[in-house]
Structure 1
Amino acid sequence: MLRSTVVFSAMTFLSRIAGYARDALQAHLFGTSAAVSAFVVAYRIPNYLRRIFAEGSFSSAFVPVLSELKQKGDEQAMRDVLDHVAGALLAAVIVVTALGMLGAPWIARVFLLFADPGAGGLVELAADMLRITFPYLVFISMTALAGGVLNTFRHFGVPALTPVLHNLAIIGAMLVLPRFLAIPEQALAWGVLAAGVLQMAVLWPTLGRLGIRPRFRFDLQHEGVRRVRKLMLPTIFSSSVAQVNLLVGTMFASMLVVEAQAWLYYSDRLTELPLGLFGVAVGTVILPQLSRQFAGKDEAGYARSLDWGLRVVVLVGMPAALGLALLAVPLTAALFGRGEFTDDDTRMVGYALTAMSLGIPTFMLSKVLLPAFYARQDTKTPMRAALATVVTNVVLTIAFVTPLDYLGVRWAHVGIAAATALAGVVNAALLWRYLRRDGIFKPQPGWTPWLARIGVGLAVMAATVILLERWVTARYGMWTAQPDALRWMWLLATIATGGGAYGATLLALGLRPRHLRQ
């Protein structure tokens, strides 16, 4: 499991490097214009549906069923289920895509409910971009189907690498298409569509080389299709609660200044780095493992695997959150602070990132806690937690944003980020409570010294980062005013020093690499 997680994380790291290049180019070329805000809406809606029909709800229901059949050695039944599920999925996403393209103006109006009707034709522009981005759902769903099959057969590398192609396609579109478009930012939407096509074109042939490429059979009443559908429906909220909360934030951000959508987008992209590198990696690797152990009635192995996943994300998630919070403005300045991206944009993204960072450990914990239910083919319990989480997010967003907006505070979008983070805490706490209540999770010995070491390491890391960051500011001025090369040099030095202090403290307190093995 550790080896598979490292492989997945390494491939994801390449994707995040390409993702940074994409975001940096986007910030340089387009800044936080109204057209970028329109793209954020047009991207988040099909991206949320991707969580349902691709690697979110669908994979959470499909992988345990396929893993169970593989564990039983019934290859004919496994292939039959794969063929029929592939056909049903393709039919569903084609219908949803067609409806989305037809209803784009109304969808854009809903998610820009509070926007100023005269704000640069924001609704119309978002609708135009939605018609371009919606077909992405078809291609990415087929890509996710292939990835789920490969993960079941313990092939994690290629599925984890394909998001690199997503970012490269958007980069290529930004470099080539703006000169041919009346609205240059529409290149982003065309890049998303090209990314879906490219990922499917690369990943689908991999199934053929392994001899497991599905044949599309359309029978919605097939036993395997009904079983996946039954498991999938309750997960629509539970496996994509973070995306639902982002959509809620998107709606409320439309009542604020037009740049708020873009500020929240960039802060979200930065929080995605630790989530993708570690949270998603552990969750992806642990789901087929837990599914096999549950199908094989290996309760002791199931408990050890889940315990291992939780310890790893605590070990990594806590310093990741602390580091992002302490270095939010320096990070934003170094990563995006050039071209059309102003100093004011840097500060506003940094404020939102600080608030969002509070939820990173619990976002990562949820990525491990959810597979504990899905592996047992229990999708209803996480749905209850998800519904409570979304309600909490809406209530907190109203409570935080309404007074700030009434007072005319420019950084009112920080209230949306804080509400999203706190809702993530609620989600993880409820999942933990349900696991403990039902006796599913039995903590292994050693949690107290594990948490004590991490706590001391975090204290040393925080002191190191704060002192070095303040010294750099006192010596060279505000991060937004420093030359680009100097900002990068001191940012990397601060991250390396803080991370080194954290690791050295853990080693001094007795933590060893062997403790990371399951």
Structure 2
Amino acid sequence: MSQKLVRSTSTVAIFTLLSRIMGFLRDIILASIFGAGGLFDAFVVAFRLPNFLRRLFGEGAFAQAFVPILAEQRTTRSHEEVQDFVNHVAGTLSFIVCGVVILAEIFAPLVIMIFTPGFVHDPVRFQVTEHLFHIMFPYLLLIVLTALAGAILNTYGIFAAPAFTPILLNIALIGVALLWAPHTSQPIYVLGWGVMLGGFAQLFIQIPFLKRIQLIPRFKLGFRDVGVTRVMKRMLPALFGVSVAQIGLLIDNVFASFLPQGSISWLYYSDRLIYFPLGIIGVALATVVMPYLSRNHAEKDEKIFSATLDWALRCTLFIGLPSAVGLFVLAGPILSTLIQYGKFNSFDVVMTAKSLSAFAVGLPGFMLIKILASAFYSRQNIGTPVRVGAIAMLANIILNFILVFPLKHAGLALATSLSSLVNTTLLWMLLAKQNIFIPSKVWGKTIFQLIVSNGIMAACIDFLAGPLTPWLTWSVFTRITHLLLILCVGMLSYFVVLGLTGLRVRHFRSPC
């Protein structure tokens, strides 16, 4: 079981890594073609609502509500009964989402005014945003069905296909940006159709795998179905509780819409970079650990439950914390190397670096929330993360008001980061207080190792990077070689110090 858990995590992480690499390539191309101006602001806003729900359904709330119940039914019911449960979930969920899509299409101007009120005073940006919104919002239905298929496959131990699906969205956007956009007078609208194309591809690629396990959904309404009712009751509050960071980005939109043009784009590019390690570590671990935690709880094996959670948290910190330190210290050089091309100029690099450093402060929190929330949801406890999320959300709003005036868009990013740390701290404390999570005896040494290794790594890479100004004028080759050298030295110093402080590979063996 231990090898299977590590192998499954590695599979998800590898495909997620490929997706993030493709995402980098996508953002380089989009930045070069569209820059960080008002039109790209409009695309970001129009895509943020369905994309926000994609992150909830695809990597959080739906899986947290659906997987434990499906795992339970798989164990206690016949295949025909499981098929009937899947049919009713698919039909009911699709019916609800179709209603949401129709209402959103009808009231699109109102939705845009609510989430980006500052655009009301900019008719061009508002009109472009509305048109893109009409094109892209039906993507929500496609991605909900994709998430359903992925959750079913994950429960049956098939992780590769669902982990591969995000790559298809990146391929679609890259394809339309390079092949279609240059041949149209309004290239920004092409991105909207690229999103829809990617949505269809993400859904259809999973159908053969569903057929293999004989669980292709046959859509049936089932509002009175007991299983559907349980999923819905757990899913609705989890939409809020598990993804405070993403809700924070929507709140950031409201504030950013009043800031100068480009602010939303700067936040977008920095968020994309933060999501690279978050997707690889936080989402991959949570996706794989969730079924094991659910099984541990169903078998009433609380000792293994706590040990599995302990393992996941330590893995997250050992990889997530140096990622945060690296992004904080090297924000400018990384952005200059990756996306300072075409219409994305040196000023955009400087401004995006400010929000990237601010987001990096909260990266460990963003990652840990994925794992900590999974511990509650695997026990079918929705209320606790929701209450904690409400507190963190209130903190985010208050911090937005405090920080947006002196720090502008970077203040919005910092507010989101600080609220995620509030969320993490409260979830951790409650798990420990309820004796759900009993930290192992190695945590004292773990904290010491993390502080020393990350401190030395930060000093090394900061010294080698130097000031940002020369990076903005160097050739592409010079930037790439310097950044690779710094990253290699940083990783080497980090792992050497970890080894000197006593960390060994055997310490990462999973307990299940």
Helix, strand or coil at the partner of 1:478:
helix
Helix, strand or coil at the partner of 1:114:
helix
1:292 is aligned to 2:284: no
How many angstroms apart in 2 are the aligned matches of 1:164 and 1:499? 27
Name the residue aligned to 2:447.
451
Query: 1:74-129 CA deviation, whole Å, 9 max, x = no partner?
Result: 43332221111111111111111111111111111112212361x35111111110
How many angstroms apart in 2 are the aligned matches of 1:208 and 1:505? 49
How many angstroms apart in 2 are the aligned matches of 1:55 and 1:457? 30
Query: 1:319-341 CA deviation, whole Å, 9 max, x = no partner?
Result: 00000000000000000001000
CA contact (8 A) 1:253 1:260 kept: yes
Aligned with residue 426 of structure 1, among 422, 425, 446:
422
Query: 1:302-325 CA deviation, whole Å, 9 max, x = no partner?
Result: 111111111001111110000000
Superposed displacement of residue 146, structure 1: 0.7
CA contact (8 A) 2:150 2:162 kept: yes
Helix, strand or coil at the partner of 1:371:
helix
Name the residue aligned to 1:465.
461
How many angstroms apart in 2 are the aligned matches of 1:120 and 1:36? 15
How many angstroms apart in 1 are the aligned matches of 2:62 and 2:192? 24
Q: Which runs of 5+ in 1 are unaligned?
A: 405-410
Helix, strand or coil at the partner of 2:117:
coil
How many angstroms apart in 2 are the aligned matches of 1:415 and 1:423? 12
How many angstroms apart in 1 are the aligned matches of 2:118 and 2:99? 29
Name the residue aligned to 1:386.
389
How many angstroms apart in 2 are the aligned matches of 1:20 and 1:52? 22
Aligned with residue 240 of structure 1, among 232, 240, 243:
243
Name the residue aligned to 1:96.
100
CA RMSD of aligned residues (A): 1.4
Name the residue aligned to 1:407.
none
CA contact (8 A) 1:245 1:420 kept: yes
1:77 is aligned to 2:81: yes
TM-score, normalised by the number of residues in structure 2: 0.96
Query: 1:247-269 CA deviation, whole Å, 9 max, x = no partner?
Result: 00011001100110000000000
1:13 is aligned to 2:17: yes
Name the residue aligned to 1:131.
134
Superposed displacement of residue 54, structure 1: 4.2
CA contact (8 A) 2:120 2:126 kept: no
Which amino acid in 2 is paired with 1:364?
A: M
How many angstroms apart in 2 are the aligned matches of 1:180 and 1:510? 59
Which amino acid in 1 is paired with 2:497?
A: T
Where do 4+ consecutive residues of structure 1 move more than 4 Å? none
1:499 is aligned to 2:495: no
Aligned with residue 274 of structure 1, among 260, 272, 277:
277
Q: How does 1:392-407 map to 2 (within 5 A)?
A: 392-401=395-404, 403-404=405-406
CA contact (8 A) 2:359 2:417 kept: yes
Which amino acid in 1 is paired with 2:258?
A: M
Rate the CA distance shift 1:157–1:284 in 2: closer, same or farther, 3 A.
Answer: same
**Percent of aligned positions with the same letter in both sequences?**
40
How many angstroms apart in 1 are the aligned matches of 2:138 and 2:482? 43
Aligned length: 506
Helix, strand or coil at the partner of 1:165:
helix
Q: How does 1:344-355 map to 2 (within 5 A)?
A: 344-355=347-358
How many angstroms apart in 1 are the aligned matches of 2:139 and 2:120? 29
How many angstroms apart in 2 are the aligned matches of 1:339 and 1:50? 30
How many angstroms apart in 1 are the aligned matches of 2:79 and 2:509? 31
Name the residue aligned to 1:64.
68
1:36 is aligned to 2:40: yes
Q: How does 1:160-171 map to 2 (within 5 A)?
A: 160-171=163-174
CA contact (8 A) 2:369 2:424 kept: yes
Query: 1:29-67 CA deviation, whole Å, 9 max, x = no partner?
Result: 000121100011111111122244444321110011011
Q: How does 1:313-324 map to 2 (within 5 A)?
A: 313-324=316-327
How many angstroms apart in 2 are the aligned matches of 1:41 and 1:275? 22
Which amino acid in 2 is paired with 1:424?
A: S
1:112 is aligned to 2:116: yes
Rate the CA distance shift 1:494–1:305 in 2: closer, same or farther, 3 A.
Answer: same
Which amino acid in 1 is paired with 2:442?
A: G
